Chain A
Amino acid sequence: MGVFGLFSSQDDKRKEEVRTGARAPDRSERRQCWDARDNFYRCLDKHDVIDSQTGNGKKTADKHCAQEDKAFEDNCATAWVTYFKKYRVAEYQKKKTIERLQKEGANKVGMQAGPGGSTVR
């Protein structure tokens, strides 16, 4: 028990260091963090939550994805958790904007074709 306790406490210490940002995570720790993040994202997707940090999104996330959120925070640096949660929102907005621009772009192309067609006549 003593040896096991020592190991687990060392492991915990390292995890704690990663969480607080005192130590940079290595490749496997990054992987763990990303997996925990993706798990959390999946839960948010299931409940149609984009922003899990404010308003109704936070309420829903706290209610349905608390377990995933806990695992996410356990496996990632605190700064990363905040970053990824914000990144999800930013990425969603980016996607929406591109979709909107593409729609507008399509309209513009349609308008350009109009006068061109009339001159050919």
Chain B
Amino acid sequence: MPALVAPTARSARSASSQPAFSYSSAGRHQQRRYKGKTVEEARSRYRTGPFSWKAGVLFVLAGCGLMWYFESEKKRMQRQRIAEASKGVGKPKVGGYFNLVDHEDRPFSSANLKGRYSLVYFGFTHCPDICPEELDKMAQMFDIVEAQAPGAVTPVFITCDPARDDPKVLKSYLAEFHSKFIGLTGTYDEIKNVCKAYRVYFSTPKDVKPGQDYLVDHSIYFYLMDPEGDFVEALGRQHSPQQAASVILEHVKDSNK
């Protein structure tokens, strides 16, 4: 490339030495100006190569622009990925169809929960310490939610110990926590399937001899389910009743929009 440019520049330089003799006529004058321009151009081109300061600025600007664009695009993609992971494909499949009986000994299926949010808790009436505490907490959060969005949420207690928790037992047990709590029970297999659908671990022995006492080990979460019966969020012991209630209310408000 320099080998090609060099002769042009040399001829331009020799051309620039000529005009000293030829500025009498206009035609020549014009020619000289024309030539002079070419010379300048040629010189600058020789000095800087194909890059002018304009090209440089343009180059840097375009570079910065592209960088910014790619960075923002990358961030956008990341946000999108997180959003999709927490809603669409990555959503855990919790909950599902069930057919049990409530604390009044009436049939109660998952269809009864449709159309409203539900707060589902698994436990058993012989629970020594955690469930009673959690049920008191559930009553508090339910009251907070009811105060701001009456009738938006159905509170449900499903027993993990169907052998001992019949509707009557559930009724008197739950009445001590909240009059609106719905207690659900069923056969051992029905309960086992519900627990499985809600990913609840429990260790109820299947065949218990009469009079034999036992405790049930089980998962302790409140499950917030949406009006379609799909899992929304699990609320744990780390949430205070106020925190849990505000989480529920946010979801309820989201769905009203």
Tell which of B129, B176, B211, B215 touches A22, judged by Cβ atoms closer than 8 Å: B211
Contacts of B212 in A (CB 8 A): 21
**Number of residue pairs spanning A and B whose beta carbons lie under 8 angstroms apart:** 38
A24 to chain B, nearest CB (A): 4
B168 to chain A, nearest CB (A): 11
Contacts of A103 in B (CB 8 A): none
Q: How distant is the Cα of A83 from the Cα of B172 in the complex, in angstroms?
A: 24
With contact pairs A77-B126, A79-B126 given, residues A20 and B176 touching in the complex (Cβ less than 8 Å): no
Q: Number of contact residues on B: which range applies?
A: 10 to 19
Tell which of A21, A30, A34 touches B214, judged by Cβ atoms closer than 8 Å: A21
The prevalent SS among residues of A at the interface is helix
With contact pairs A24-B173, A83-B215 given, residues A30 and B125 touching in the complex (Cβ less than 8 Å): no
Q: Is A78 an interface residue (CB 8 A)?
A: yes
Beyond A21-B213, A24-B165, 12 additional pairs, beta carbon < 8 A: A21-B126, A21-B212, A22-B211, A24-B125, A24-B173, A26-B173, A27-B132, A30-B132, A34-B129, A79-B126, A79-B215, A83-B215
Please list the residues of chain A having a beta carbon within 8 angstroms of any beta carbon in chain B.
20-22, 24, 26-27, 30, 34, 77-80, 83-84, 87
28 CB-based A-B contacts, threshold 8 Å: A20-B211, A20-B213, A21-B211, A21-B213, A24-B125, A24-B126, A24-B164, A24-B165, A24-B169, A24-B173, A26-B176, A27-B132, A27-B176, A30-B132, A34-B129, A77-B126, A77-B128, A77-B213, A78-B213, A79-B126, A79-B128, A79-B213, A79-B214, A80-B215, A83-B128, A83-B215, A84-B129, A87-B129
